[in-house]
Structure 1
Amino acid sequence: MIDLVLIGAGTGHPDHLTLQGVRALQQADLVVVPRKGTGKEDLAHLRLAMLNRHRPGGAVANIDLPVRDADLPYLDGVERWHDAIAHVWAQAVAAALPQGGTVAMLVWGDPSLYDSSLRIAARLNWRARVVPGITAIQALCAAHAIPLNALGSDVRITTGRRLRDAGFPPDADRVVVMLDGTCAFATLDPKGLQIWWGAYLGMPEQLIQAGPLPDTAPRITAARTAARATHGWIMDCYLLARDGSHSAPELLQHNHGRRIHSVG
């Protein structure tokens, strides 16, 4: 029997692992590290850096992830892709732990939020548990030093695909957007919208920008394109808010011109 531990790894900084996550890494018999192909080697290197810091010398299985078929309808393509990933997981773990044991995987952000590791694990006859970590949303709000919600208001969490297809939800004041590879914010009517954007959150390469969407969208698009060309990959997310949904600290920051930041 395989016991699978999915460990929230934050957004890339080794310090984002919780003490519980570090213990889970150290107690695992094997850590599986996925590789996402040419140009994205840094993603595997970041995981290995965490292991070298928190679990030096432990057993590691590197796996090459299959690629989703973009020609299929989205949901069909994702289901087949997850089937293929589960097969790769099973092969690697069977080779490394033929008698069974505990397998750990580091998951960007938190395994509960727009991550499919639990869905993939459900395809296998493994016992799974989760060690939560810092989410990208927490890292975004910390980077900008803003609260996620306005007073007495709610927050919608969605994807770039949904934002592009359905627009800004008419019944929402604030929307967090994840998994946006095509700058879906540029498809919105920008009037009356504010944006707080961040990439490589918590890492030395961190980039954050904020301000009225009409002014800020071109800067984000340019920064995103340049960063992806430099690193070969990018992970980012952002918060959109309608005018009038800000709290006092955020208005104060904007009144002081706190709109563009780079840390690193």
Structure 2
Amino acid sequence: MIELSLVGIGTGNPDHLTRAAEAAIRAADLVLLPRKRAETRELLDLRAGICAGLLGAAARTATFEVPVRDPGAPYLDGVAMWHAAIAAAWRAAIADHLPQGGRVALLVWGDPALYDSSLRIAERLGAGGQAVSVTVVPGITSLQALAAAHAIPLTALAAPLLVTTGRRLGAEGWPAGIDTVAVMLDSSCAFESVDPRDVTIWWGAYLGMPQQALRSGPLRAVAASIRDARTLLRAQHGWIMDCYLLRRDAAPGPASGR
């Protein structure tokens, strides 16, 4: 039996860990650490640092190579094949380092339940015939960190909030009947595709980390500076994680480069 804990670890600040997250990491017989491209080494080091800080020399970790999604395949088909490949990488790492089964923790950036595929990948883990139980330890999401960094509420008074992706915003435009939209996973600055009239944006990258970057103000005034900042930061660090909130008819206020 594999007892898999998907542990939300927040958005880069070790202080984001809850007590439940710390307990799950301490209880694990093995912590899996994903390794992606060389330029994202910082993400691996941060997870390893969390384990070292909690467990010291007793930390038992194993890295696995994260497969690359085929960009040429239709999106949903490509994602399905990618998830299957990641599940196979998990399965191989567990078999190598914990052949008799046991408790495995996987540290998930943000929260396993919000625009993260860890739960869908975990469903595939038992495809090889081994019994797998899954526990989720929720973490701070990037949207929570974004609202805190800008000291704003995510929702307007008595109004709904829609959370979507940059892909959907760019392809479908502003959702009908909604005045506040939170956007994640936007690699192409889809905010530039919407009508900027009476729209305010609050954007943040590397939320909770020392290199945190924030911009806010009327979309018309700050869209270009956000794109420029995003390009520069990605070149500097080799990776970027960001999200933003768009709100129609919000009090415009001055543009900010905090």
Tell me the TM-score normalized by structure 2: 0.96
Match of 1:128 in 2: 134
Percent identity of equivalent pairs = 54
Determine whether 1:213 maps to 2:219.
Answer: yes
Equivalent residue for 1:228, pick from 218, 224, 234: 234
Distance between the aligned counterparts of 1:154 and 1:13, measured in 2? 29
Q: Tell me which amino acid in the other structure corresponds to 1:37.
A: R
Match of 1:37 in 2: 37
Distance between the aligned counterparts of 1:204 and 1:170, measured in 2? 37
Match of 1:23 in 2: 23
Distance between the aligned counterparts of 1:101 and 1:46, measured in 2? 24
1:50 to partner: Cα distance: 1.2
Determine whether 1:259 maps to 2:252.
Answer: no
Match of 1:80 in 2: 81
Match of 1:155 in 2: 161
Number of residues of Structure 1 aligned to a counterpart in Structure 2:
252
Distance between the aligned counterparts of 1:162 and 1:240, measured in 2? 14
Moved over 2 A (4+): none
Distance between the aligned counterparts of 1:55 and 1:183, measured in 2? 40
Determine whether 1:65 maps to 2:66.
Answer: yes
Distance between the aligned counterparts of 1:55 and 1:221, measured in 2? 40
Distance between the aligned counterparts of 1:77 and 1:17, measured in 2? 32
Match of 2:7 in 1: 7
Residue pair 2:180, 2:248 contacting (<8 A) in 1 also: yes
Range moving further from structure 2, 34-43 or 155-164: 34-43
Secondary structure in 1 matching 2:182: strand
Task: Tell me the C-alpha RMSD between the 2 structures.
Answer: 1.0
Determine whether 1:239 maps to 2:245.
Answer: yes
Secondary structure in 2 matching 1:122: helix
1:160-203, CA deviations, whole angstroms, 9 ceiling, x for partnerless residues? 00000001112101000000011111111211211000000011
Secondary structure in 2 matching 1:197: strand
Match of 2:129 in 1: none
Distance between the aligned counterparts of 2:221 and 2:114, measured in 1? 30
1:50-92, CA deviations, whole angstroms, 9 ceiling, x for partnerless residues? 1121222211000110000000000000000000000000000
Distance between the aligned counterparts of 2:149 and 2:91, measured in 1? 38
- Structure 2 unaligned regions, length at least 5: 127-131
Distance between the aligned counterparts of 1:155 and 1:188, measured in 2? 17
Determine whether 1:140 maps to 2:141.
Answer: no
Q: Tell me which amino acid in the other structure corresponds to 1:82.
A: H
1:258 to partner: Cα distance: 6.3
Secondary structure in 2 matching 1:124: helix
1:38 to partner: Cα distance: 2.1
Residue pair 2:146, 2:243 contacting (<8 A) in 1 also: yes
1:40 to partner: Cα distance: 1.0
Q: Tell me which amino acid in the other structure corresponds to 1:99.
A: Q
Secondary structure in 1 matching 2:188: coil
Distance between the aligned counterparts of 1:63 and 1:148, measured in 2? 36
Residue pair 2:218, 2:255 contacting (<8 A) in 1 also: no
- Structure 1 unaligned regions, length at least 5: none
Tell me the TM-score normalized by structure 1: 0.93
Distance between the aligned counterparts of 1:210 and 1:132, measured in 2? 28
Match of 1:119 in 2: 120
